[in-house]
Amino acid sequence: MKRIAFFGQDFIGDALVWANMLEAVGRFFAPCEVTVFCPMDRVELYECMVFCNQVLGYDPSMMWSAEEARGFGHFDIVLNTRYDADSISRIQALDHDSAYGFENIDIPEPVCKRVYTDYVPLSRWDDFHLRRETSITEQGAELIRIFDPNYHCEMIRFDTSTFKREQAEPSKEPMAIFAMGASDPTKRWALKNYLEVARFLRESDVSPLFLLGPNELEFESDIGIAGFQIRKCLSFKKIAGFFDKGSGTVCVLGNDTGLMHLACAMGVPSVTIMPHGTHFTWFPYAADNRAEHICITPECADIMCVNECRQRLSCVGKISVEEVKRAVSGLISREYGFHALDSAFSALPFSTGDCPTPRRILHLNKEAIP
């Protein structure tokens, strides 16, 4: 049986969108044992993925001792999805036969040639179609195509056999989950906006539920005063339970953040607020399911604009409450036939004052909502 070492990403979204790639590695080299190395704060996430046989966390600020590295044993193959020089040092410390990874700024070509058996060159990202017109799951699949040229991965989808979850507590009313977390401050839509959308849904007999992580606890008081349900610092298994289509959740609304990837992978309809546009092909979802997953972007968003825009901090403010209401209510009405939302949806303005035109509400295939 082959032993595979996989160095996993820190960010929730990156870890999730490449998860099926990790699963594919296990199938390609079967029978094998997959060991994931990741920072300590991501151990719980990888442990939810049933195709990870062992998950070993480490402190990025502390290099392994020679004794620790020997304790991991021998690996036939090492796969590195990380972009930091620290991962290179750890790979060199492991006893292994071959290693594969990506060339990047911190792992330049000379290092790749010294450490990797083979690697994806940085020049590969100059391919416009790959970089701008395919999903990030397909981009990550470049690593697997080094040894399996026929492998493609255009989407992620988790079921009960691939991602562990805990069943959510039953709800008397259909739920709309609010996931406001975002590591980048420029991606954070204002709390007052979310509260306004939540009130709108509550009036239509949809029960809003706010998921708060450690960085959103400052909002707990205001959300509680507004009378909405709150769940704090849940495990990924519990979050996955709320995102399961069988949980009573009819929509997940949130900023461009990792939890939105998890919501979509679980198959529950979603609306994602994306202040910097959809041109980085963030969306790893099946084409026949894209109508269930809506992205809302500023009208001015364009390719690479996030690197050039002098108003980057204000981009998220260009997305209005009214267009988010329209997206959420329209999605729920189409998916579940809620008549209460049908009337509320039809009453919303298409374009009044600061409310932008509906063409700024995009499906993941970049077609405007009819």
Token pair 């193959």: residue: 77
Q: Is 277 left (phi over 0), alpha (psi -120 to 50) or beta?
A: left
Record the tokens describing residue 189, joined without a space: 């839509």
> Collapsing DSSP states into helix, strand and coil, what is residue 102?
strand
pTM reported for the whole predicted model: 0.84
CATH number of the structural domain 2-144: 3.40.50.2000
List, as one string, the DSSP characters of 106-139.
SS-HHHHHHH-SEEE-GGGGG-HHHHHHS-HHHH
Q: How many CB atoms lie within 10 A of CB 181?
A: 19
Record the tokens describing residue 221, joined without a space: 């008081």
**CA dihedral (158, 162, 164, 168) positive or negative:** positive
Residue limits of CATH 3.40.50.2000 in the chain: 2-144, 175-363
Give me the average pLDDT of each 10-residue run along the chain (370 residues).
94 85 88 96 95 95 96 97 95 98 96 98 89 79 92 80 87 91 78 96 94 93 96 95 87 90 87 71 48 77 62 74 92 74 57 37 37
> What is the reported pLDDT for 86?
96
Q: Which of 220, 214, 215, 262 is nearest to 242 (CA)?
A: 262
**CA dihedral (44, 49, 55, 60) positive or negative:** negative
Interacting residues of 210 by C-beta distance below 8 A, sequence separation 6+? 178, 180, 194, 198, 219, 223, 228, 229, 230, 231
Q: What is the domain class of 175-363 according to CATH?
A: alpha beta
Strand ranges across the sheet with 270-273 = 229-232, 207-212, 175-179, 249-255, 270-273, 293-296, 361-363
Q: Which residues pair with 175 in a beta bridge?
A: 207, 249
> What is the reported pLDDT for 336?
74
> Collapsing DSSP states into helix, strand and coil, what is residue 350?
coil
